[in-house]
Amino acid sequence: PMGSERMEMRKRQMSTTQETPGAAQAQHSTGSRGSNACCFCWCCCCSCSCLTVRNQDEERARRTSHELQAEGIPNCEESPAPTLEEVNAWAQSFDKLMLTPAGRNAFREFLRTEFSEENMLFWMACEELKQESNKSVIEEKARLIYEDYISILSPKEVSLDSRVREVINRNMLEPSQHTFDDAQLQIYTLMHRDSYPRFMNSAIYKDLLRSLSEKSIEA
């Protein structure tokens, strides 16, 4: 496993940089260095760039996993299986899709394939925040939402324009249930205009519709 990991990292390095004769010679000589030698850099210092990148990737993976556990975000919302009528209704409007847990689950599954699931997670977190009335809970949840979806340091950062970010930064001085309303609307609109049309043409939606249609005919 360690050998395959090193081979993969070498491939990444080879694809992004052109190896010089000096580097190649240094690579050949790494076998005589201690086990502290880096996988594809020719130095042993702790600040080696490749180690930094690898450590950042590992930390990001750990942080994402920890956040999901801490927030208790399930793989999907609990909901009964959708009916054929409901699935047909999803094609009528994005609003109808988002109104039902089953619709959100199917759409969220599609977003995951496009690596944009954070849009749905952010929207859901904002909806949850609106249900809170306790001031301290609101402040804590607002802080978590900001760190998870607004901060440029977060791997789950959502795409917002500068105006909305300025509004959020002002609102965070005194968080409320509506701190992220403008941002939530912008992400909702983004999902509607950008992802929803592709979802309607996706295999996820078509397969679900076909399966329910066949069951309906059999019944």
AA letter at 90: W
Is there a contact between 176 and 167 (Cβ–Cβ < 8 Å)?
A: no
User: Residue 61: what pLDDT?
Assistant: 41
Q: What kind of fold does domain 84-216 have according to CATH?
A: Regulator of G-protein Signalling 4; domain 2 (1.10.167)
Q: What is the pLDDT of residues 163-200, one digit of tens each?
A: 999 999 999 999 999 999 999 999 999 999 999 999 99
Domain boundary assignment for the chain: 84-216
DSSP category for residue 40: S
Question: What is this structure's pTM?
Answer: 0.65
Is a pLDDT exceeding 80 seen at residue 143?
yes
22 vs 116, residue with greater confidence: 116
